[in-house]
């Protein structure tokens, strides 16, 4: 046994990104910019084989996401297979394409949990951000239907500079819809969000006000005995230390892309690192032996300032994708960290957030045509 190798525990969380197809066009989507290049999707049988292997290794939670997972006709079959294997199953959806009949079918297949994402608390803004005029009413109807079926429901709102000032109305809507948990997650800058960062990053003042509003509602709701949980996630860009991304590289989380690439985090396919395919290797091999999953485990790979830093076991040097996107080298300390020599990039982004006047109509929307322009080298 190689005693220098970091101890590797089995994955606990499997994220099945079933497809990159999606009827919406959110400009903060975390899918890769070149998603339109990727047409292939694993078959039902191939996905079930992945689930079996993950479960054998000890994974307990399985999230179905995308793109929009509802476009997969075999979703009930996949849910049933995952549930029969003993997974706790979670559907992460925009609600577009959901019907009462499908909710019945998912319940019958054993689905445990549904998360519906909203773009905003009102129809006009929701339509401008999602690129669909009908989306808001459909989401409302489906959120009500999900509750009527007795599901625990998470509502997810991605916050940015164009909707964060409506956070009070967002929380009111969540209360009205009887959400059990509300995720108020400020945009994290990966994929399309990074491309549109100038037009999405809120100012520090916007974040501070939103935090106050959330605090006020937490107190008000507790007083009224409403136990809905309000989770407010601030953007890394206003922190002085990075987050311990994914609980550590290849530590608990395993994501599989529509065509079967296995990743230690759903953004990692942009890195200049070779990642294995579930069509060529077993998950056991991928998790424990592959180059990609071992690349940033432990601490030996770290350059300074992380290598000699007393906080490295807490944040693992931050996010490799963020380091790569902002410095061009994924080995570097995450620039969010005040100790990083590249922290100036974050300071410049904060400054830009104070000055920009970028409108929603100027954002690049996540759609096939824009993706094709990007991967063909002609930014839209
Ligand atoms: S973030 Fe928006 S565009 Fe991206 S997958 Fe979700 S609903 Fe579709
Ligand atoms: S120097 Fe590296 S390990 Fe230390 S706090 Fe910053 S990112 Fe974390």
Helix (H, G, I), strand (E, B) or coil at 281: coil
Determine whether the shortest distance from the Cβ of 67 to ligand 1 is under 6 A.
yes
In percent, the amount of the chain with pLDDT more than 90 equals 89
Determine whether the shortest distance from the Cβ of 265 to ligand 2 is under 6 A.
no
Ligand 1 atom at minimal distance to the Cα of residue 65: 5
Six-digit token string for 237: 């860009």
Residue 214 pLDDT: 96
Give the H or E element holding residue 352.
helix 344-355
Residue 5 pLDDT: 63
Sign of CA dihedral 273, 279, 283, 284: negative
Question: What ranges make up the beta strands (E) of the chain?
Answer: 13-17, 61-65, 88-93, 113-118, 153-159, 181-186, 229-233, 253-256, 262-263
Token look-up 């197809």 returns: 21
* Averaged pLDDT, 13-30: 97
Judge whether 343 and 337 are in contact, CB under 8 Å: yes
Determine whether the shortest distance from the Cβ of 236 to ligand 2 is under 6 A.
no
Number of neighbouring beta carbons within 10 Å of residue 379:
10
Determine whether the shortest distance from the Cβ of 22 to ligand 1 is under 6 A.
yes
Ligand 2 atom at minimal distance to the Cα of residue 336: 7
Judge whether 143 and 153 are in contact, CB under 8 Å: yes
Q: Transcribe 204-253 into DSSP letters.
A: HHHHHHHHHHHHHHHHHHHHTT---EEEEE--GGG-SS---GGGSTTTSE
Q: How far apart are the first and last CA of the chain?
A: 52
In the chain, where does DSSP find H-type helix?
44-57, 75-84, 100-109, 123-130, 135-148, 167-176, 191-195, 197-200, 204-223, 283-289, 291-294, 312-315, 320-327, 344-355, 368-375
User: Model-level pTM?
Assistant: 0.94
Q: What does each C-alpha distance from 13 to 51, 88, 238, 254 come to in angstroms?
A: 11, 10, 28, 6
Residue 2 pLDDT: 45
* Averaged pLDDT, 217-232: 83
Six-digit token string for 275: 């990642």
Torsion of CA 260, 186, 236, 6, to 10 degrees: -30
Judge whether 209 and 378 are in contact, CB under 8 Å: no
CA distance 234 to 38: 32
- Cα angle value 22/27/30 (rounded, 5°): 65
Considering only 53-67, 236-250, 329-343, which range has the smallest mean pLDDT? 236-250
Give the H or E element holding residue 314.
helix 312-315
Closest ligand to 93 CA? 1
Q: How far is the CA of 307 from the centre of ligand 2 (A)?
A: 8
Torsion of CA 16, 80, 288, 307, to 10 degrees: 40
DSSP strand pairing (113-118 vs 229-233): unpaired
Determine whether the shortest distance from the Cβ of 323 to ligand 2 is under 6 A.
no
The β-bridge partners of 180 are none
Torsion of CA 76, 82, 84, 85, to 10 degrees: 170
pLDDT tens profile 56-115? 999 999 999 999 999 999 999 999 999 999 999 999 999 999 999 999 999 999 999 999
Domains of the chain (ranges plus CATH)?
10-111+188-201+237-379 (3.20.20)
Residue 379 pLDDT: 53
Residue 1 pLDDT: 43
Residue 97 pLDDT: 95
* Averaged pLDDT, 241-248: 90
How far does CA 242 lie from the centroid of its chain? 17
């Amino acid at each position: 046994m190689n005693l220098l190798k970091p101890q590797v525990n089995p994955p606990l969380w499997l994220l099945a990104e079933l497809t990159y197809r999606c009827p919406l066009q959110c400009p903060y989507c975390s899918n890769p910019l070149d998603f339109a290049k990727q047409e292939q999707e694993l078959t039902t049988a191939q996905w079930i084989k992945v689930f079996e292997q993950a479960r054998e290794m000890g994974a307990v939670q399985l999230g179905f996401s995308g793109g929009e997972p509802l476009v997969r006709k075999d979703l009930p079959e996949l849910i049933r297979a995952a549930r029969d294997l003993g997974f706790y199953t979670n559907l992460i959806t925009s609600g577009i394409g959901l019907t009462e009949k499908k909710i019945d079918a998912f319940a019958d297949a054993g689905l445990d949990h549904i998360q519906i994402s909203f773009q905003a608390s009102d129809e006009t803004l929701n339509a401008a951000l999602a690129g669909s005029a009908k989306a808001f009413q459909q989401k409302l109807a489906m959120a009500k239907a999900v509750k009527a079926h007795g599901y625990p429901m998470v509502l997810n709102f991605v916050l940015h500079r164009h909707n964060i000032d409506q956070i009070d109305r967002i929380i009111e809507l969540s209360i009205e819809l009887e959400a059990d948990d509300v995720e108020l997650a400020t945009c994290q800058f990966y994929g399309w969000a990074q491309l549109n960062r100038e037009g999405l990053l809120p100012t520090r003042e916007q974040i501070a006000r939103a935090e106050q509003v959330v605090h006020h509602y937490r107190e008000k709701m507790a007083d009224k005995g409403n136990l809905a949980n309000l989770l407010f996630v601030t953007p890394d860009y206003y922190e002085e230390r990075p987050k311990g991304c994914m609980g550590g590289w290849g530590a608990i989380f395993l994501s599989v892309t529509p065509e079967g690439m296995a990743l230690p985090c759903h953004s990692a396919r942009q890195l200049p690192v070779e990642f294995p395919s579930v069509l060529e290797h077993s998950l056991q091999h991928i998790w424990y032996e592959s180059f990609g999953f071992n690349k940033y485990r432990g601490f030996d790979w770290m350059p300074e300032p992380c290598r000699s830093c007393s906080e490295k076991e807490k944040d693992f040097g931050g996010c490799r994708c963020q380091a790569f996107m902002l410095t061009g080298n994924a080995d570097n300390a995450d620039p969010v960290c005040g100790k990083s020599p590249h922290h100036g990039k974050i300071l410049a982004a904060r400054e830009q957030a104070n000055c920009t006047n970028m409108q929603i109509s100027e954002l690049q929307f996540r759609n096939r045509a824009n993706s094709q322009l990007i991967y063909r080298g002609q930014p839209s």
